[in-house]
Amino acid sequence: MAALCAPPPDEATQRALRDAERTRAADVAARKEAVARAVQATIEEHRLVAERIATAARLRALEQTTDTIAERIENLAARRRAAETRLRARAAAMRPLLPVIERLSLYPAETLLAVPAPPETAMRALIVLRSLSQRLEQDAVALRRDQTDIDAAARDLAAESPRLTTALAAQATQAAALDRQLAAARALRDQAETDAEAAERRASADAARADTLRAALAALEARRRAEEARAREDAIRAERDKKQAEAESARRREAALAHPAGPGTMAAAGANGSPSGRPIGNTGGHLIAPVAGTLIRGWGDASEAGPATGLSYHAPPRARVVSPCGGRAVFADTFRSFGLLTIIDCGGGFHAVLAGFERLDIKAGRPVQAGEPLGTMPDWEPGGGGKRPSLYVELRRDGQPVNPTPWLKHGL
């Protein structure tokens, strides 16, 4: 009886085929939707990065204005301090002579005749007194000039202070907007940590224990190669075990570790540039200046450790530091006497090293675009006479420092 009620075999087969087709169509639609979401997420990430770069560029223009005013205030304050020092020195030199000058002005004849002396001695005394009088007159003129200089510097300082306040306020407003964008980006990224980024953070931790920058870069490279080999082994094992999803994930991790900078700003330069880092043909201009400010020490200039192997420059208070190249942050942590330091893999065997931050806004393993903010410089008071903080920038190729100047689009 049951056999009589069962549907014909061909109808059951057709129903199974229809079910399979519906399932396959649903899978295809789900994959398409996932790809579309991934593409949209990538587009949105690129848009947000472009917004951060544009905001950082606007902030840099404001910081350049702040730096110009701050530099002027520093110079005016130094000029006032120098004039005050001269004034104090002249006053100290004249102080012992004041009683004699006063007595001579009140009782010239009595002062000269107070001590009997031969005529020739008296004549010499008069000549000396005349010379002293001329010197005193010159010192008095210099004193008045120094006082005038002090008054003028004080007036100029008073005029510049409101401009600095306005410039700092505009800078702070733009910086707050950038900070909001950075916070939003961190929130999104924290939800999408990848194995490759985790591997690079482990490499960064290894590098932090190194004694020198060269050793740190060597530790980063050693860890990267080890993680790449581990990812390759995982992929082979997963493929052997017919675990396709795991194999694909391991292959992606291997590819990311093999090329941590992606294409990188300096990838072409690595193939075409000379060992010294000097551009050949049209390969120059691959880096942008990482901060608004004034270059204070160039490549090869004298330093306490010998000829400088990088660039150092002053920047305005709380200036934002941006990546000089596109690539990936492979180190972002405290390092020895450098303080907070970040290393950007620019591709082509090039690494940009930046140190002197008050705060880092980048984590090891994160991709960066040229001009994307990395962190902030310390605050300081223009005209306060204290030591100004500086940012140190070094370009290394295959672990060796090279002159970054030829690679900059414009000077620092």
Token look-up 């190729």 returns 397
pLDDT tens-digit profile, the chain (412 residues): 445 555 555 677 777 667 666 766 665 565 566 555 555 655 666 777 788 788 788 878 888 888 887 887 788 788 778 877 876 776 676 666 566 655 656 556 555 555 555 555 555 555 555 565 666 666 667 667 767 776 776 777 677 778 777 776 777 777 777 777 767 766 665 555 566 667 777 888 888 888 888 899 888 888 888 888 888 888 888 888 888 878 888 888 788 777 878 778 887 665 455 444 444 333 445 889 999 988 999 999 988 878 999 999 899 898 999 999 999 999 999 998 899 999 999 988 899 999 999 999 988 888 898 999 999 999 988 877 778 899 999 999 988 999 999 888 754 4
How many CB atoms sit inside 10 A of residue 286's CB? 28
Domain 282-407: give its CATH code: 2.70.70.10
Token look-up 């010499």 returns 124
195-216 tens-digit pLDDT: 666 777 788 888 888 888 889 9
User: What share of the chain has pLDDT > 70, as a percent?
Assistant: 66
In terms of residues, how long is the chain? 412
119-133 tens-digit pLDDT: 555 555 555 555 656
Q: What was the pLDDT predicted at 139?
A: 65
Q: Cβ neighbours of residue 71 under 8 Å, at least 6 residues apart?
A: 294, 314, 382
State which amino acid sits at residue 13: T
Long-range contacts, 55-59 (Cβ 8 Å, 24+):
55/174, 55/177, 55/178, 55/181, 56/178, 56/320, 56/322, 56/371, 56/372, 56/373, 57/371, 58/174, 59/171, 59/174, 59/175, 59/178, 59/320
Please state, in angstroms and rounded to a whole number, the distance separating the CA atoms of residues 269 and 257: 20
CB 290 within 8 A of CB 368: no
Q: What pTM does this model have?
A: 0.69
Please state, in angstroms and rounded to a whole number, the distance separating the CA atoms of residues 396 and 351: 5
Sign of the Cα torsion 204, 210, 213, 215 reads negative
Identify the DSSP state of 243: -
Domain parsing of the chain, residue ranges: 69-189, 282-407
Q: What was the pLDDT predicted at 78?
A: 80
Q: What was the pLDDT predicted at 323?
A: 95
